[in-house]
C-alpha cells in the first residue's frame, strides 16, 4: 500500500489527453472533444492524482476547490471527482490508497474541513467515511394534472425567453444570493458558470438546445430564472407527447417561482414534466391543486465526509443549543477518533477534544449524513449508527443538528 500511494502523482497538462481518456473509458462514455483537447478551466491539475503503468493511466482522481453552504454558514469543501480505477487494477488497494492520500493531505495541510462527492455507485464510499447528505427528488408528472392552486399569487412580473448572455448576466448574482441560504449548495465562479452553461450537441440526447427564462418585476429587478429543454414526442395516434426537463429553477420570491412554473407547465406539445435535480420537498408540491400529481423518486445526491471533525462541526450553526460529548468512531481517519465536546447555538459552534464521558457514540458516516441538517440523528440511531449513552442526548442532538431548510445540491461534479 505504501509503495502504491507513493506512485500516485498529479497529472500535468501534457498528461491530460491520456488522463482524461482513461477517466471516460472507465465510465464507458465518449468524452466531449472540448474536454480532451484542452484542460478545462475548472480543472485543478495540481489537485489531481493518477496512477501510471508504463504509458497507461490505470487510476484517476481529482479535487475541486469549492465553497459549500452548511447550516448558517459557508465552508471550504474539497469536491472529490474523477475517481476511477481500471478493471485491470480492481481489488488491489488502489482506491483505498487514493482515498487515504486525499484525506490525509487535506488533514495535514489543514485545508478543507469537509469533503464531498457524487457517487457513481452507492456501495463504494461508505467504507471511506462518506454518507449521503442530500437527495435529489427525480420529480415528474403529467402536465394535464400539474395545475397551480386557484389563487396562487404569481405576482405582477413577467417571464421572458432570453439568450444565454442575458440569462447569465442576471442569474450569476441571483444564484450567489440564494445559494448562501440553502445547505448543500455550492458556489459558482466564472469557470463553473462556463461549465454549467456548456451545451454540447452530443450531450442533448435528442432534446432541444437549452432554453432560458428570466422573471422580471415591474421595476426591472430580476427575481427568478430557469433553464430547460424540450424533447419532442408523438403517440401512435399522432397526439403530441413531448417532455420538458427543467434543469434549474431559482427565485427570490414565491410569486416569481410560481410564475416560472406556470410558464413551464403551459408549453405547447408537452405532456410530461421532469425535474431530476430538484429536491423531493421542493415547494412546487405545495403550489399545486393536486399534490399527488407530482411524483418523486429520491436518489442520493451529495455525499459528505468530515475531514476534521472539530473544524467541520465548529463551522456550522445550530438552531437549538447543544452541549454534548460525542465519541466518534472513524477507523479510516484515526485523527478523528475519540471524544469531542461540541457546544453550539444559532450564532456559532465550538468543538474540542475532551476526556469527559460521552453522551453519544457515533460513527463518522452518521455525522456526515446529519451534517447538512437533513438527516435526523434519531433516524440514524434507529439504524444502529448512533448509540445513546446519556438519556435524552439523541433528542437534543437531533434537534440541534436539523435545519429549517432541507439540504439540496443542484450541481453535479
The answer regarding whether domain 139-298 maps to CATH 1.20.1260.10 reads no
- Residue 121 labeled ligand binder: yes
- Residue 217 labeled ligand binder: no
Task: State the pairing for strand pair 270-275/73-85.
Answer: unpaired
CA distance 139 to 137: 5
Angle between the N-to-C axes of helices 190-197 and 164-179, in degrees from 0 to 180, rounded to the nearest 10 = 120
Which pLDDT does position 2 carry in this prediction? 42
Region for residue 153 given its phi and psi (left: phi exceeds 0; alpha: psi -120 to 50; beta: otherwise): beta
Q: Name the 3-class secondary structure at 299.
A: strand
Q: pLDDT band for 30, please (50, 70, 90 cuts).
A: confident
Catalytic residue of the set 128, 263, 371, 413: 413
Q: What is the pLDDT of residues 111-141, one digit of tens each?
A: 999 999 999 999 999 999 999 999 999 999 9
Catalytic residue of the set 19, 125, 225, 401: 125
Which pLDDT does position 6 carry in this prediction? 60
Across the range 29-50, mean pLDDT stands at: 90
Q: Give yes or no on whether 2-112 and 139-298 have one common fold.
A: yes
- Residue 178 labeled ligand binder: no
pTM for this model (two decimals): 0.95
From residue 152, give the alpha-carbon distance in Å to each of 41, 256, 259, 287: 43, 11, 9, 7
Cell of 284: 412546487
What percentage of the chain reaches a pLDDT higher than 90? Answer: 94
Q: Are 155 and 217 in contact (CB under 8 A)?
A: yes
- Residue 85 labeled ligand binder: yes
What percentage of the chain reaches a pLDDT higher than 70? Answer: 99
Higher pLDDT, 29 or 292: 292
- Residue 50 labeled ligand binder: no
Establish whether 413 is a catalytic residue: yes
- Residue 96 labeled ligand binder: yes
Task: State the pairing for strand pair 338-345/348-353.
Answer: antiparallel
Q: What is the pLDDT of residues 233-250, one digit of tens each?
A: 999 999 999 999 999 999
CA distance 130 to 269: 43
Residue-range domain boundaries for the chain: 2-112, 139-298, 309-401
Among 3.40.630.30, 3.10.20.30, 1.10.10.10, 2.10.109.10, name the CATH number for the domain at 2-112: 3.40.630.30
Nearest by Cα to 248 from 145, 142, 139, 147: 139
- Residue 72 labeled ligand binder: no
Q: Name the 3-class secondary structure at 345.
A: strand
- Residue 92 labeled ligand binder: yes
- Residue 361 labeled ligand binder: no
- Whether residue 388 is predicted with pLDDT greater than 60 in this model: the reply is yes
DSSP 55: T
DSSP bridge pairs for 57: 52
Across the range 68-96, mean pLDDT stands at: 96
CATH architecture of 309-401: 2-Layer Sandwich (3.30)
Amino acid at each position: 500500500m505504501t509503495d502504491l500511494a507513493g506512485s500516485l502523482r498529479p497529472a500535468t497538462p501534457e498528461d491530460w489527453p491520456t488522463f482524461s481518456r482513461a477517466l471516460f473509458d472507465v465510465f464507458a462514455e465518449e468524452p466531449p472533444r472540448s474536454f480532451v483537447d484542452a484542460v478545462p478551466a475548472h480543472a485543478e491539475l495540481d489537485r489531481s492524482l493518477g496512477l501510471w503503468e508504463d504509458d497507461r493511466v490505470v487510476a484517476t482522481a481529482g479535487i475541486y476547490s469549492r465553497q459549500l453552504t452548511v447550516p448558517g454558514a459557508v465552508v471550504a469543501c474539497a469536491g472529490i471527482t474523477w475517481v476511477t480505477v481500471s478493471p485491470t487494477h480492481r481489488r488491489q488497494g488502489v482506491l483505498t490508497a487514493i482515498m487515504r492520500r486525499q484525506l490525509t493531505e487535506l488533514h495535514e495541510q489543514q485545508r478543507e474541513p469537509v469533503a464531498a462527492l457524487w457517487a457513481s455507485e452507492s456501495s463504494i464510499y461508505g467504507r471511506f467515511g462518506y454518507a449521503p447528505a442530500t437527495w435529489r427528488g427525480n420529480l415528474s408528472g403529467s402536465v394535464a394534472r400539474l395545475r397551480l392552486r386557484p389563487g396562487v399569487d404569481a405576482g405582477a412580473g413577467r417571464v421572458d425567453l432570453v439568450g444565454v448572455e442575458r440569462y447569465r448576466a442576471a442569474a450569476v448574482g441571483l444564484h450567489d444570493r440564494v445559494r448562501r441560504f440553502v445547505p448543500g449548495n455550492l458556489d459558482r465562479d466564472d469557470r463553473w458558470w462556463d461549465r454549467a452553461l456548456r451545451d454540447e450537441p452530443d450531450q442533448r440526447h435528442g432534446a432541444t438546445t437549452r432554453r432560458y427564462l428570466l422573471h422580471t418585476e415591474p421595476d426591472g429587478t430580476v427575481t427568478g430564472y430557469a433553464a430547460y429543454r424540450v424533447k419532442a414526442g408523438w403517440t401512435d395516434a399522432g397526439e403530441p407527447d413531448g417532455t420538458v426537463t427543467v434543469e434549474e429553477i431559482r427565485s427570490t420570491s414565491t410569486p416569481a417561482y410560481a410564475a416560472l412554473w406556470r410558464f413551464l407547465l403551459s408549453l405547447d406539445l408537452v405532456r410530461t414534466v421532469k425535474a431530476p435535480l430538484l429536491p423531493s420537498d421542493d415547494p412546487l408540491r405545495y403550489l399545486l391543486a393536486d399534490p399527488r400529481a407530482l411524483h418523486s423518486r429520491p436518489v442520493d445526491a451529495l455525499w459528505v465526509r468530515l475531514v476534521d471533525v472539530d473544524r467541520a462541526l465548529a463551522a456550522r450553526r445550530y438552531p437549538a443549543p447543544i452541549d454534548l460529548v460525542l465519541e466518534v468512531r472513524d477507523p479510516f481517519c484515526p485523527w478523528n477518533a475519540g471524544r469531542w465536546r461540541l457546544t453550539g447555538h444559532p450564532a456559532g459552534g465550538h468543538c474540542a477534544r475532551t476526556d469527559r464521558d460521552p453522551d453519544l457514540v457515533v460513527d463518522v458516516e452518521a455525522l456526515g449524513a446529519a451534517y447538512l441538517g437533513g438527516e435526523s440523528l434519531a433516524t440514524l440511531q434507529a439504524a444502529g449508527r448512533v448509540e445513546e449513552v446519556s438519556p435524552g442526548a439523541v433528542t437534543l442532538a437531533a434537534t440541534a443538528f436539523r435545519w429549517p431548510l432541507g439540504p439540496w445540491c443542484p450541481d453535479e461534479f
